[in-house]
């Protein structure tokens, strides 16, 4: 998953085949798998920041089940993932 974050930061969005060729050439994952994994990472990051905000306010919110490996990547790269996603959405609106 770390390779995916690095690949997307260097190759950009919509370049899933390039990310696959450069960072996952020996993997059985397809470009579509990488796109889906990215979408799941973004959702996990958003859930993590949402949980922190609700924890501070002491309100309950539906729990999102996040795998341990994903949780570690979110802790390490969460801000970077959300920044890249925000830039992508801003470009998409133009």
What is the reported pTM?
0.70
The whole-angstrom separation of Cα 92 and Cα 94 is: 6
Count up the domains in the chain and report the number. Answer: 1
How many CA within 13 A on the CB side of residue 89?
8
- Residue/partner pairs of 55-60 with CB below 8 Å, 24 or more apart: none
CATH number of the domain where residue 76 is located: 1.10.246
Alpha-carbon dihedral of residues 36, 75, 6, 22, nearest 10 degrees?
-50
Task: Report yes or no: 31 and 19 within 8 Å, Cβ to Cβ.
Answer: yes
Q: For residue 33, give its domain range.
A: 2-93
Q: List pLDDT tens digits, range 47-61.
A: 876 655 555 555 555
Q: pLDDT tens digits for 12-71? A: 888 999 999 999 999 999 999 999 999 999 998 888 766 555 555 555 555 556 677 778
The two structure tokens encoding residue 84: 């890249």
């Amino acid at each position: 998953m770390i390779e995916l974050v690095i690949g997307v930061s260097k190759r950009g969005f919509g370049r899933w085949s390039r990310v696959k060729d450069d960072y996952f050439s020996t993997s059985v994952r397809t470009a579509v798998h990488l796109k889906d994994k990215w979408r799941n990472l973004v959702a996990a990051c958003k859930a993590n920041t949402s949980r922190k905000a609700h924890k501070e306010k002491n309100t309950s919110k539906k729990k999102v089940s996040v795998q341990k490996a994903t949780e570690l990547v979110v802790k390490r790269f969460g801000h970077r993932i959300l920044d890249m996603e925000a830039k992508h959405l801003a470009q998409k609106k133009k």
